[in-house]
Structures are given as C-alpha cells and as structure tokens.
Amino acid sequence: MTRQIQLALAAVRPRKADPSVPVLGPSITRMRVHPGDLDYYWHVNNGVYLQMMDVARTNYMADVDALGGLKERGWYAVVAASTMKYRRSLKLGDRFEIRTRVVGWDDRVVYMEQAFWRGEDLCARGLVAGRFLHRDGSRVPAPDVIAFLAGLHGRAVEQPELPADVAAWASAVDVAAR
C-alpha cells in the first residue's frame, strides 16, 4: 500500500525536472525498503518490485519534464509486458536506487530497463515494454513519443540498436504484435 501512495504522490506532485537527465536516461530514483515491502521471507515481495518500478518510471517522466506535455496531448503510458530477474535480496532498511533508462523502441513500443542497485551490487533488473495511448483509445506510435521527449530537450535522439537480450525477450512475448 505504501508504494501505491508513493506512486500517487509522484504523479500528482512530481519532482522537478532535471535537465541533466537525457531522454534515454538514466533517471535515478532512491528508495529504502519499508516493512510493507516485505514478504513472508523478510525480503522485498516480487510484486512490490513492480510497484517500485512504476514510481521510478513516473520519476523518469518528471525528470525529462514530460508529465505536463503528455497530459496536454492526452497521452498516457501502459505496460504491455514486463519481466524481472532477481540476483540479490533487498531486505528491511536497505537503501537502494532504481536506474531507469530507455534502451530502444520500435513502431509501437518503448523498451525500458530498470535496474535495482544497492551500492555496487545489482539486486534486480526489470525490462518493461510500454505503449502510449491517447485518451480517445487510439495508440500513439513510439517514435512519436520519443520525438516529443527529444523536442522537450531541443535535440533529436538517435535510435539505439535494441540490446540482443531485450530483442529476444520482446520477440518471445510477442509484445509488439497486434
């Protein structure tokens, strides 16, 4: 429940834009493990990781100053697919950060990596395929979203080659299919 409240606050009262965060990121969200994040085994519940990632993606959008412009256009993001790999447990009181970055896009989907770091230790890595929709229900092409974000920074963004593991995952889950 605490992460849902944190997400609501991040959306309603976003942090200030950070001009040092490029469109492709990374955007850093710092957190600490709370008692409500824990499962029966006293480490962060797998579902809570996804809620934390929601908060970090909202912070990324705030960092690149996109929240107001997206709202004006009637665009909003939805998760089309996600996957997680857990390497080390996060436990009560641990301080960590989520590094959120855009790793690529295709005609329909923006792909993001969200890595959980406790100091120098990679604890978990999530991949998210996000689609953007218009409030009328139509889909917004991913290149249009990236161009909008790049325009906020006054410069074009060159499309990176999608990392092989992300491309293989996207193909396996058929995320871009209609």
Q: What is the CATH number of the domain that holds 43?
A: 3.10.129.10
Range of the structural domain that residue 95 is part of: 2-173
d(CA 7, CA 81): 19
In a domain, 167, yes or no: yes
Nearest to 95 by CA among 153, 24, 34: 34
Distances (CA, A) of 159 to 1, 14, 104, 107, 110: 37, 27, 7, 11, 11
Asked if residue 178 is part of any domain, the answer here is no
- What pLDDT is stored for residue 153 in this prediction? 84
Q: Say which residues have a Cβ less than 8 Å from residue 112's Cβ, sequence separation at least 6.
A: 57, 60, 100, 101, 102, 103, 127, 128, 130
Q: What angle do CA 162, 164, 165 make, to 5 degrees?
A: 110
Share of the chain above pLDDT 70, in %: 98
Q: Determine the pLDDT at residue 177.
A: 65
**pLDDT tens profile 116-149:** 999 999 999 999 999 999 999 999 999 999 999 9
For the cut 90, the answer to whether the pLDDT of residue 11 exceeds it is no
Q: Residue 176: pLDDT band by 50, 70, 90 thresholds?
A: low
Number of domains observed in the structure of the chain: 1
- The predicted-structure confidence for 47-92, as pLDDT tens digits, reads as follows 999 999 999 999 999 999 999 999 999 999 999 999 999 999 999 9
Alpha carbon distances (Å) from 120 to 57, 66, 101, 155: 22, 30, 18, 32
DSSP lists the bridge partners of residue 4 as none
